[in-house]
Amino acid sequence: MATIHLDGKPCAARSGTNLLQACLEAGADLPYFCWHPELGSVGACRQCAVRQFSGPEDKTGRIVMACMTPVTDGALLSINDAEAREFRENVIEWMMVNHPHDCPVCEEGGECHLQDMTAMTGHNKRRYRFTKRTHTSQNLGPFVKHEMNRCIACYRCVRFYHDYAGGEDLAVFASHDNVYFGRATDGTLENAFSGNLAEICPTGVFTDKPFSAAYSRKWDLSGAPSVCVHCATGCNIIVNARQDTVRRVLNRYNGEVNRYALCDLGRFGYGFVNAPTRIRAPLRVISEQQTPIPAQDALTRFARMAADGPVIGIGSSRASLETNFSLRALVGPDRFSTGQTRQEQTCTDCALSLLRAHPGAIPTLHDMESADAVLVLGEDVSATAPRLGLALRQSVRQPSFHAADAAKVPRWMDAAVRTLGAECPSALFIATPAPTELDSIARETVRTAPDNIARLGFAIAHRINPAAPPVPDMPDTDAAQADRIAATLVAAGKPLIVSGMQYGSPALMQAAASIASALATQNPAAGLSLVLPDCNSMGLTILGGLTLEDVLEKAATGEIATLVIAENDLSRRLDPSSLTKLKNDVPNIVLIDHTLTPLSRDAALVLPATPFTECTGTLVSQEGRIQRFFPAITPAAPVQAAWRWVRMLAEQISTNDETLPDRNPATDLRTWTRVDDVTAALSRACPALAEAINAAPNADYRADNQKIRSEPARASGRTVIRSHISVRDQPPPQNPDTPFSNSMEGAYSPDLPAALIPFFQVPSWNSGQSLTRFQQEIGGAMRGGDPGIRLFATPSDSPPEPPRTPDIPAAFTPRDDEMLLLPEGRLFGPEELSALSPSVAARSAADAPTLSLPAGTPYPPRMTLHLSDGPHDLATRPVTNLPDGIALCPPHMVMRAFAFPRTARLSPVTSAAAVTPGYAAPGHATPVTPSPLTPAPVTPIPVTPASGPTASVTPRRDRP
């Protein structure tokens, strides 16, 4: 800690930071634009000018940019200095020279950093009297709206999009006062983090396009702290709603997880909650049509069904712990299925036990950013856990930080650090069957089949710890590669191994864990991260239950009279014949879900549940972080949280059947009235999830004896917006499941527990930039601590498991007659809920499902893929370096139920083959021609069983 003197007042400042950060942390109002806590300083906007004095004798001092000046102990500076203020006011005036002053029609209005800073500098009179320069804006696709005239040229957009997120299609064009930020031509922004531009851009150039179409001022939006449900990473979000619709999703800073950025799936995937596919009333089939019925009618029907015989419950990895646990309480643990296939469950169980047993670190996303050697073993994280991919992208910057340290250049001097790091080698290794987005920053990539990747992993583990079993029949080149990777990992201070279950292979995860634990014997910082598929895969796995195959078996033997399925679309997991058989074997199917799925057509009863935006719930992310989401909308009856339906079902049965399972009053679901009761019961019933109740303060939480307000202080139009119905003020909805007021009345301060912050705003700072006031230190933890409770934070102290000989798979052999079919790494489209979001659907529509095949072999432009639901006629896409014998297709987009790996036959297209419905047949597939400077692809050599795995290796171009 250092002391700086700010206008004569001593303030504590963190050494190693810059004066701008120090001023902001001291609570001072100092305007800035180009600086961003995650992007560092570049000194472009010149807005943060202060006067610095060299010592007490120095009466003149000089104007410096606070963001470019390191904190030194005893530094003397003045924000209030007249000349510094005048300069800052001038800077704003220059920025506004060409600005359109269109605040009334600007989406940023009311939460605009430029507005805030303009007011802060006191600029209020326009002196420029000449015509403004104008630009034309571009159509950047379904997510991001562009209004270039509002640009103040702070360069944040390109620094985020290009430098930070690795996007290639946004650049700065032209020069002087004509600089233009956009794409070379109109078109969809391709990077998966494009939506962050809306938050990164301090004015209204880049805005959230779907929000723009359903626009509301920030002060008219109510916010709810929430957790993203589109993958298992557990990014924290704010859901903004007005009236009964969700208007947008914003990033909610969690210093350990998503920090400042969210992927586009998380930002734009929410659209399903407003979609016509929502279930708004109980339904039952009347004359072959699902027809709305009164809730009581539905419940009575259920009671009759339950009388028919055993009830089995099927939970879901996309549903909260509360939903799953309530269902388990209804049917009893023995009759509860996780709703996962056996293969899925084997993988998730395996992941759970590997993480529990890992003697090293289970890193958070933020930890991963500082890993100095990373091996990604058989997972395309950019598709399955995009935010994690973004964290790995930052990890390759570690060497440049070390170079900066050596050159005594502070790490936040962004441009300088990038210059110094220009030649620093990356320590990221990627072993995947198909190319991934991170390949371009990897030192080496390995292209081979999952089994071979697992073998490589076991070989690396053996190199690091000879006690780990050797891999038989390794070819020399692979052994040499294993040596290289092992050496880098061993030399690293904070190595990290990432794997996952994308390819359905426990062996891959075992191999990853075995490397990580081999490293951990020498280095406790060695981390292991395993990517799971769904937002609550981890929670569900800890809860445990039967697999879907178990359910099928029970159904086949007539052991099931009624199936209650909560938030699970079995048609995505069971192939059509199994599903048909299940439907035939089970007399009564009851579905509790928020969204119509193919399965709901056949259910005897459908009960309308709430999506994550309308209820409170708890999820466990893949890193074992238990987190709570809160509702942005209080649903109107009959829609209610799934657990409430389950409780009602329980009440129904208990009135006519005294022999139901679980009469234990402590866990009797009929006594639950609020969500906190469910979570508390869960915590008691399931020791591994005992902390669930503490994931966030409960609904009784009060600040200053008040609920927390969900809206900024000036919410307007509560009556006006309903004026076509009635001008009487409506009381805000009361929700027993939250500590929020659902109105602008209530308590709010930066000191609230971080899990309960519904929006970011402090006096003078109306935009998201106000976040700095909510953090203990800029870029550090939230004031109330980062949200969530970590299950695996401390390495297991249980004695290491006796070394188990892992099942090292045999080397992969391509087959003549069939291809090994693996999932294509695709972000938009495969995920169930986001696919129903109109903006995501529009984004993925541009990219029809194709069949990716090795570029080495010539394939016709279309081929027929034979799957268990029949033939699919698909355009083919050649993929460079894809190993022989492997084909890729996007999960769930060709055949709805899709588990990988599987083998499939390909044949030339015959006219009879069905075109995969829903997609326009694309023209000829154009191969992406790589630069001739990229080393010629090494054609994978077909592997014969005797020679062991052979990987095609693309070392990163190393130039002298």
Which residues of this protein are in contact with other proteins, per CB under 8 A? 42-47, 49, 62-64, 68, 86-87, 90-91, 94-95, 97-98, 127-130, 152-153, 155, 162, 168-179, 183-185, 403, 407-409, 413, 415-416, 419-424, 929, 931-934, 959-960
To the nearest 10 degrees (0 to 180), the angle between helices 642-656 and 295-306 is 60
Distance separating alpha carbons of residues 387 and 381, to the nearest angstrom: 8
Question: Could you tell me which of 840, 657, 900 has the C-alpha nearest to residue 269?
Answer: 840
Q: Which of ligand SF4, ligand FES, other proteins, none does 156 bind, CB closer than 5 to 8 A by kind? A: ligand SF4
What backbone torsions phi and psi does residue 457 show, to the nearest 5 degrees? -60, -45
Q: Residue 312 interacts with ligand SF4 (CB under 6 A)?
A: no
Counting contacts by CB under 6 A, is residue 454 touching ligand FES? no
Strands (E), 343-403: 373-377
Smallest distance, ligand SF4 to C-beta of residue 649, A: 52
Residue 919, interface with ligand FES (CB under 6 A)? no
170 binding partner (options ligand SF4, ligand FES, other proteins, none; Cβ < 5 to 8 Å by kind): other proteins
Q: Please give the C-alpha separations between residue 942 and each of 140, 454, 527, 856, 946, in angstroms, as whole numbers.
A: 43, 17, 34, 12, 12
207 phi and psi angles, rounded to 5 deg = -130, 165
CB 110 within 8 A of CB 217: yes
Instruction: Decide: 637 and 648 in contact? Cβ < 8 Å.
Output: no
- Binding part of the chain for ligand FES, among 28-36, 74-82, 192-200, 521-529 by CB under 6 A, reads 28-36
Applying CB under 6 A, which part among 42-50, 93-101, 156-164, 478-486 lies near ligand FES? 42-50
Distance in angstroms (rounded) separating the CA atoms of residues 153 and 94? 11
Nearer to other proteins, 417 or 609 (CB): 417
Residue 154 interacts with ligand SF4 (CB under 6 A): yes or no: yes
Q: How far is CA 527 from CA 181, 444, 781, 796, 838, in A?
A: 39, 20, 21, 13, 38
138 binds ligand SF4 (CB under 6 A): no
- Would you count residue 43 as binding ligand FES (CB under 6 A)? yes
CA pair distance 341, 119, nearest whole angstrom = 58
Quote the least distance from Cβ 158 to ligand SF4, whole Å. 7
Please report which residue ranges of 465-575 form alpha helices under DSSP H: 476-491, 506-522, 537-543, 548-556
Please select the residue that binds ligand SF4; options are 88, 156, 447, 843, rule is CB under 6 A. 156
Beta strands in 562-603 (DSSP E): 562-566, 588-593
Among other proteins, ligand SF4, ligand FES, none, what binds residue 923 when CB lies within 5 to 8 Å by partner kind? none
Q: Which stretch binds ligand FES (CB under 6 A): 6-14, 26-34, 320-328, 623-631?
A: 26-34
153 binds ligand SF4 (CB under 6 A): yes
The answer for residues whose C-beta is within 8 angstroms of residue 692's C-beta and 6 or more apart is: 321, 618, 626, 679, 682, 683, 686
Asked if 46 interacts with ligand FES (CB under 6 A), we say yes
Work out which of 35, 155, 325, 812 binds ligand SF4, going by CB under 6 A. 155
Kindly state the smallest distance separating residue 393's Cβ from ligand SF4, in Å. Answer: 20
The binder of 798, among ligand FES, ligand SF4, other proteins, none, by C-beta within 5 to 8 A per type, is: none
35 lies in the site for ligand FES, by CB under 6 A: yes
Say if residue 724 is exposed, middle or buried (CB neighbours under 10 Å; 0-12, 13-18, 19+).
exposed
Task: Map the footprint of ligand SF4 across residues 164-193, applying CB under 6 A.
Answer: 181
**x/- site string to ligand SF4, residues 883 to 902, per CB under 6 A?**
--------------------
Residue 161 near ligand SF4 by CB under 6 A: no
CB 901 within 8 A of CB 889: no
User: Per DSSP, what are the bridge partners of residue 498?
Assistant: 376, 529
Distance of alpha carbon 241 from alpha carbon 249, whole angstroms: 9
* The binder of ligand SF4 chosen from 39, 201, 413, 840 (CB under 6 A): 201
**Amino acid making up residue 138:** Q
List the 588-593 sheet strands across, edge first. Answer: 289-292, 283-286, 605-608, 588-593, 562-566, 311-314, 336-337
Number of residues that bind ligand SF4 (CB under 6 A): 12
Identity of residue 688: A
Q: Which residues contact 591 (CB under 8 A, 6 or more apart)?
A: 565, 599, 600, 603, 605, 606, 607
Terminal Cα distance for the chain, rounded? 42
Provide the minimum distance between the beta carbon of 48 and other proteins in the complex, in angstroms, as a whole number: 11
Count H helices, E strands: the chain? 24, 34
203 binds, among other proteins, ligand FES, ligand SF4, none (CB under 5 to 8 A by kind): ligand SF4
How far is Cα 873 from Cα 956, in angstroms, rounded to an integer? 36
Nearer to ligand SF4 by Cβ, of 156 and 647: the residue is 156
Q: How far is the CB of 106 from ligand FES (least distance, A)?
A: 22
Minimum CB–partner distance for residue 512 and ligand FES (Å): 41
Give min distance, CB of 117 to ligand SF4, in A.
12
Min dist CB 47 to ligand FES, Å, is 5
Taking the C-alpha atoms of residue 864 and residue 518, their distance in angstroms, rounded to an integer, is 45
Number of residues in contact with ligand FES, rule: CB under 6 A?
Answer: 13
**Could you say which of 13, 19, 32, 699 contacts ligand FES (CB under 6 A)?**
32
Q: Which is nearer to ligand FES, 65 or 461 (CB)?
A: 65
Asked if 682 and 329 touch (Cβ cutoff 8 Å), the reply is: no
Nearest residue (CB) to ligand SF4, 698 versus 766: 766
Query: Least Å distance between CB 525 and ligand FES?
Result: 34
- Among other proteins, ligand SF4, ligand FES, none, the one that 48 touches (CB under a kind-dependent 5 to 8 A) is ligand FES
Measured from the CB atom, is 383 or 420 closer to other proteins?
420
Give the CA distances from residue 755 to residues 15, 79, 900, in Å, rounded to whole numbers and listed in that order.
Answer: 29, 34, 36
Does residue 368 interact with ligand SF4 by CB under 6 A?
Answer: no
If one asks whether residue 151 binds ligand SF4 (CB under 6 A), the answer comes out as: yes
Residue 155 in contact with ligand FES, rule: CB under 6 A: no
Residue 636: enclosing H or E segment and its boundaries?
none
CA distances, 49 to each of 27, 46, 304, 409 (Å): 17, 6, 75, 21
Partner that binds at residue 151, options ligand SF4, ligand FES, other proteins, none, CB closer than 5 to 8 Å by kind: ligand SF4
Strands (E), 315-372: 336-337
- Kindly state the smallest distance separating residue 349's Cβ from other proteins, in Å: 43
Q: Could you tell me which residues are beta bridge partners of residue 955?
A: 444
Structure tokens belonging to residue 57 = 């004798």
59 binds, among other proteins, ligand FES, ligand SF4, none (CB under 5 to 8 A by kind): none
Q: Figure out which of the listed residues 23, 39, 65, 279 binds ligand FES, where binding follows CB under 6 A.
A: 65
Q: What is residue 110's three-state secondary structure?
A: coil
How distant, in Å, are the alpha carbons of 503, 540, 543, 669, 677 from that of 666? 41, 22, 18, 9, 10
Among 17, 121, 196, 203, binds ligand SF4 (CB under 6 A): 203
Which residue's CB atom is positioned nearest to ligand FES?
Answer: 67
409 binds, among ligand FES, other proteins, ligand SF4, none (CB under 5 to 8 A by kind): other proteins
Question: Contact between 140 and ligand SF4 (CB under 6 A)?
Answer: no
Should residue 610 be labelled a site residue for ligand SF4 when binding is judged by CB under 6 A?
no
Q: Which is nearer to ligand FES, 45 or 229 (CB)?
A: 45
By CB under 6 A, name the one of 13, 24, 45, 633 that touches ligand FES: 45
Q: Which residues sit at the interface with ligand SF4, rule CB under 6 A?
A: 151-157, 181, 201-203, 205
Q: Which residues bind ligand FES (CB under 6 A)?
A: 20, 32-35, 43-48, 65, 67
